[in-house]
Structure 1
Amino acid sequence: MAPKNIVIFGATGMTGKVTLAQAVDGGYNVTVLALDPANFPANKKPSRVIEGNVLNKEDVSKAVEGQDAVIIVLGTNNDLGPTTVLSEGTRNIVEAMKKYGVRKVVACLSSLLLRDFAEVPSSFRPLTEDHIRMYQVLKDSGLDYVAVCPPYIADSKPFTGDYTVRVEARGGDVISTHDLSDFFLRCLNTSEYDGKKVTVFRDY
């Protein structure tokens, strides 16, 4: 059965806002967890806003309750420093999903996970380490997860709906926020990529 009720974590970020807009346009009932519930366009508001933090288990539990699927687009606002926010937030989300019997989660991670860690530039290593921990949480969850590892995400590139998906392998250099969000939503309605790391890209 296709999901109708979804929750987006990270819906106030650059990609998250686009994912939210596409989900609303697609007829989903969208719940979001946000520190600032006013930070949404007037014409693309979610059905339900939980004011809170992904690091707070109670807040996360409230957001996941009653959902059919989860999308995770957490970020660090370009802060490349050491963090555990992504992995700890994902751990809380997975715990809540198990509590309420929610199986499907689509998560956005770093494309650097498709490289050997020795190839990761030193400035990106602290953040990449938390993406690795986040991915491990998903792998260990037993849930139907899709780990989407896009290259550079461009806000200025258009929506095309025509992009390349590669499983367990690196791909091109760029994907638009619009095409990436389209792929997140596409993953909700197929099991093709469950339990896999995938990248998605396009030559615009």
Structure 2
Amino acid sequence: MNPKIQQVYIAGLKATVLVRDPSRLNGELAKDTTVIQGDVTNLEDVRKVMNGQDGVVVALGTRNQLDATTVMSHGLRNILLAMKEFGVPRISVCLSSFLFWDPAKLPAQFSHIHSEHVNMIQQLEASDREWVACLPPHIAANEPDNKGNYKVIHNENAPRRIVSKHDLGHFLVHCLMTDEHLSKRCGICSPEPPKEEEQKA
């Protein structure tokens, strides 16, 4: 199950998701989730999922395509417009820890995606919604679920350069339930593994 949606159910909440291709959702996820097929760059599609929601989790990506694009920033613009229209107050957005970096040191291949993330954080900071920006480092599928035991730092990079997809999903959902992280750029990382595991690696 998608870790972000999984955390919704663990928290006792319900989820509505907007996806281009519902077949990419596994059967368990599709069964327990209201699935709307559409495109985040189409405002009418975004409106379909917004009515009646209490919060929004945004995890837009390019499927490893690093070419110039405006899909993510355009999509976030539509999300913020629809949130205002339907009175949805809170949003968490997954971006990248590169936003903490000196731009001169950014790997050249990530420049287009970084420009999109800069646009997106600027949109959040200029909006009238209650927002949380999550800036993760490398997102690891094979790191364990630490059940909320991860590190979050406001407005600076987290000390470890890796975060479990489960920990990231937990934060993106649970940060909407507290005022602690509002209007913050949040660095996040999973805890260090036990010493014996490090030695085996």
TM-score by length of 1: 0.89
Give 1:151 deviation, angstroms: 0.5
CA distance in 2, matches of 1:90, 1:39: 21
Alignment of 1:33-44 (within 5 A): 33-44=18-29
Partner of 1:169: 156
CA distance in 2, matches of 1:121, 1:39: 30
Counterpart contact for 1:24–1:44, Cα < 8 Å: no
CA distance in 2, matches of 1:22, 1:103: 20
CA distance in 2, matches of 1:116, 1:98: 33
Give 1:38 deviation, angstroms: 2.9
Partner of 2:17: 32
Alignment of 1:143-158 (within 5 A): 143-158=129-144
The runs of 5 or more residues in structure 2 that have no matched partner are 194-201
Counterpart contact for 1:151–1:173, Cα < 8 Å: yes
Give 1:164 deviation, angstroms: 0.8
- Comparing 51-60 with 79-88, greater Cα deviation is found at 79-88
Q: For residue 106 of structure 1, give the secondary structure of its aligned residue in structure 2.
A: strand
CA distance in 2, matches of 1:40, 1:24: 16
Asked if residue 127 in structure 1 is aligned to residue 113 in structure 2, the reply is yes
The runs of 5 or more residues in structure 1 that have no matched partner are 1-15
Counterpart contact for 1:34–1:50, Cα < 8 Å: yes
Partner of 1:92: 78
Give 1:43 deviation, angstroms: 2.1
- Comparing 31-40 with 87-96, greater Cα deviation is found at 31-40
Q: For residue 28 of structure 1, give the secondary structure of its aligned residue in structure 2.
A: coil
Task: Deviation per CA, 1:84-116: give whole Å up to 9, x if none.
Answer: 111000000000000011110000001100112
CA distance in 2, matches of 1:168, 1:22: 24
CA distance in 2, matches of 1:26, 1:186: 8
1:33 alignment partner AA? L
Identity rate, percent: 38
Partner of 1:62: 48
TM-score by length of 2: 0.90
CA distance in 2, matches of 1:39, 1:20: 14
2:155 alignment partner AA? E
| Matched positions, count | 189
Partner of 1:20: 5
Give 1:126 deviation, angstroms: 1.1
CA distance in 2, matches of 1:44, 1:62: 19
Asked if residue 195 in structure 1 is aligned to residue 178 in structure 2, the reply is no
From the two aligned structures, give the one with the greater helix fraction. 2
Alignment of 1:105-120 (within 5 A): 105-120=91-106
CA distance in 2, matches of 1:153, 1:48: 26
Q: For residue 87 of structure 1, give the secondary structure of its aligned residue in structure 2.
A: helix
Task: Deviation per CA, 1:24-65: give whole Å up to 9, x if none.
Answer: 233211000011123222223343111100000000011111
Q: 1:73 aligns with which of 53, 56, 59?
A: 59
CA distance in 2, matches of 1:61, 1:98: 11
Higher CA-based Rg: 2
Q: For residue 192 of structure 1, give the secondary structure of its aligned residue in structure 2.
A: coil
